[in-house]
Structure 1
């Protein structure tokens, strides 16, 4: 039975970020592969990679994203090389944290309503919509489909309206402090993710045993 809001103030839903909360950080091997494909010093590659990410996460195309990264780096990648970069990048974000997966399973078994709110491009969002670990989730919200990214307050307002849950009875878990602070400013009960143990303590404090 789904856990819903009631007059006693029970939790109406738990909204999770994906990257580095449910997912593992990209492995050393995945990072190395991307750096080798980039063909520039690692620091330069990651600087360009992250600088251009907001537009990609907000709905930009993969080809456009990698062209902008190339422009920053002064690189000239042919379409086959861009395809390899794209494939390596998507794959780098598909590894799942076993502890987080176990927590999600316990929450789902207890009937807790789950939702996802992730800054992610269309390429990754498409893969995640078929991901087994996310099957128990009631709703999946991706920045690429909304056209805006966390920590824009409009993202959180959209999620709350879609779920139909009061902010104060909606839990939110994210690994980025700016996203957590933005949620808290709207009255959402937000947790800055720093590991599975702290997450379980946070959830137990709101949900009791699960």
Structure 2
């Protein structure tokens, strides 16, 4: 079932926000007295549960144990703050574009982001509070491409899947959204995506 609603559902990192700050993994690796390669492997191997609801303490304990390093609260907190800062940058042009869409469509966000990162992002980026719905994986307990992440947005917004256009820079996430019934667009840059979004809105 469809309606006349138009909901553009954006990913955050790689679309509105920038990818991780260069050099951050090296900085965190040095804090752990580990090679950048070994740290990067541990960092990403443990990341999905963190995105889906693990606490920062559970995540960083897992990373440090993977690296056979001592686990202590001070190290965890330092790594946590470096990590949050590394993902803190936004693209001002994309923020302005997303805000401008609210005159013609409902605008929502679905991001893979740990709960403590989400709190920091909400505090630093007040424009997020203007959106019609914000879903952070660490808060909803499901991370893309898990179908549950997309179904959360459908249920929370009391909409039909076909009412959504999901915009993400990762093709696997767009495929997962389409499998649930959402429309999907793979983000490459602002201008190309603005054209695709405009075309979808005109067809509604």
Q: Same fold (TM over 0.5)?
A: yes
Equivalent residue number for residue 194 of structure 1: 188
Equivalent residue number for residue 140 of structure 2: 146
The answer on whether the counterparts of 2:168 and 2:186 sit within 8 Å (CA) in structure 1 is yes
Shift of 1:56: 0.9
Which of 72, 75, 94 pairs up with 1:78?
72
Cα deviation, 1:151-179, whole Å, max 9, x if unaligned, reads: 11122122112112222221111122211
- Tell me how far apart the structure 2 counterparts of residues 196 and 43 of structure 1 sit (CA, whole Å): 32
Whether 1:122 and 2:111 are equivalent positions in the alignment is no
Shift of 1:29: 4.3
Moved >3 Å (runs of 4+): 29-32
- Tell me how far apart the structure 1 counterparts of residues 68 and 52 of structure 2 sit (CA, whole Å): 24
Whether 1:168 and 2:165 are equivalent positions in the alignment is no
Shift of 1:77: 4.2
- Tell me how far apart the structure 1 counterparts of residues 12 and 62 of structure 2 sit (CA, whole Å): 25
Shift of 1:83: 1.1
- Tell me how far apart the structure 1 counterparts of residues 188 and 28 of structure 2 sit (CA, whole Å): 25
The answer on whether the counterparts of 1:12 and 1:165 sit within 8 Å (CA) in structure 2 is no
The answer on whether the counterparts of 1:167 and 1:186 sit within 8 Å (CA) in structure 2 is yes
Equivalent residue number for residue 207 of structure 1: 201
Shift of 1:180: 0.8
The answer on whether the counterparts of 2:25 and 2:36 sit within 8 Å (CA) in structure 1 is no
Equivalences, count: 199
5+ long unaligned stretches in structure 1: none
- Tell me how far apart the structure 1 counterparts of residues 127 and 25 of structure 2 sit (CA, whole Å): 23
- Tell me how far apart the structure 2 counterparts of residues 204 and 111 of structure 1 sit (CA, whole Å): 10
CA-atom RMSD, angstroms?
1.7
Which of 171, 178, 182 pairs up with 2:172?
178
TM-score under structure 1 normalisation?
A: 0.87
Cα deviation, 1:88-146, whole Å, max 9, x if unaligned, reads: 111111110122112112212x2421111111111011123332231321111121222
Shift of 1:65: 0.5
1:194 is paired with a residue whose SS is coil
2:130 is paired with a residue whose SS is coil
2:135 is paired with a residue whose SS is strand
The answer on whether the counterparts of 1:17 and 1:175 sit within 8 Å (CA) in structure 2 is yes
5+ long unaligned stretches in structure 2: none
